[in-house]
Amino acid sequence: MALTIVDHPLAGTMLTALRDEATPPPLFRLLTKRLSLVLAVEATRGIPTATRTVTTPLAETQGIAFAAPLVAVPILRAGLGMLEAVTELFPEVAVGYLGLERDHATFQPSTYYSKLPDIGGSYVLLLDPMLATGGSAAAACASLYGAGPARVTLLSVVAAPEGIRRLEEEHPSLDVVTAAVDERLNDQAYIVPGLGDFGDRLFGT
């Protein structure tokens, strides 16, 4: 599994503001979108391209075009906060949705919604800001890999070592791009220091 920790100062300052418990939902949403733009740029560095001829006002020249279909799959709810960044960068992207909810006592995810486009041969950007135990991301990957994508990259805001280890074991071909790897999980399986419950902070619940 390839793990990329984005160390650009822009990502670091936005993540710091997201961690701040005083950051209210409107600013939290804005920062989530902006940080997701940075993560999406990093996550699509290796997307295949093909030559495209273009005519400038002065001459014909060779440029590039994306050569692989791109699919974004946010994990509801929190992943929705990352979606607009991807659709703005890649307007042609197809979007699928996975609704997963973690049980508060067992921390096991259950699926309550699934609507995926054809992802065979596609580059899939799986959007979920928190990688804690890894249960939700692993369940999402099991659905996605069954449909034959060319590549799946998880975009995460904060990851725990426990979740990274689990994904390495269960989905070694997954790529992960994150803004931070934190210290540990607490006994409620929240990431420490983390930023709290991402979905609640995003949607003000």
Residues contributing to the site for ligand PRP (CB under 6 A): 75-78, 100-102, 107, 109, 128, 130-137, 163, 189, 198-199
The nearest distance, CB 85 to ligand URA, in angstroms, is: 18
Binding partner of residue 77 among ligand PRP, ligand URA, none, CB cut-off 5 to 8 Å per kind: ligand PRP
Alpha carbon 130 to chain centroid distance?
Answer: 9
Indicate which residue of 20, 103, 118, 200 is catalytic. 200
State which residue, 69 or 199, has the beta carbon closest to ligand URA. 199
Q: Does 203 bind ligand URA (CB under 6 A)?
A: no
Report phi then psi at 50, rounded to 5: -125, 155
Which one, of 53, 69, 161, 85, lies nearest residue 121 by Cα? 69
Rounded to 5 degrees, what are φ and ψ at 31?
-65, -35
Strands of 46-148, DSSP E = 49-55, 60-66, 70-76, 94-95, 97-102, 109-115, 123-127, 130-131
Stretch that binds ligand URA, among 55-63, 92-100, 170-178, 197-205 (CB under 6 A): 197-205
Is 109 near ligand URA (CB under 6 A)?
no
Cβ proximity to ligand URA: between 133 and 153 the closer is: 133
- Residue 97 interacting entry, from ligand PRP, ligand URA, none, C-beta within 5 to 8 Å by type: none
Q: From the list ligand PRP, ligand URA, none, which binds 190 (C-beta under 5 to 8 Å, kind-based)?
A: ligand URA
Is 197 labeled as catalytic in the residue annotation? yes
Is 102 one of the catalytic residues?
A: yes
**Interface pick for ligand URA out of 132, 137, 140, 152 (rule CB under 6 A):** 132
Residue 65: helix, strand or coil by DSSP?
A: strand
Radius of gyration for the chain, computed over Cα atoms and rounded to the nearest angstrom: 17
Amino acid at 100: L
Asked if 197 interacts with ligand URA (CB under 6 A), we say: yes
Type of residue numbered 74: P
Is 106 a residue of the active site? yes
Show the 3-state SS of 145-204: HCCCCCEEEEEECEECHHHHHHHHHHCCCCEEEECCECCEECCCCCEECCCCCHHHHHHC
Residue of 18, 98, 100, 130 that binds ligand URA (CB under 6 A): 130
Residues belonging to the active site: 102, 106, 197, 200
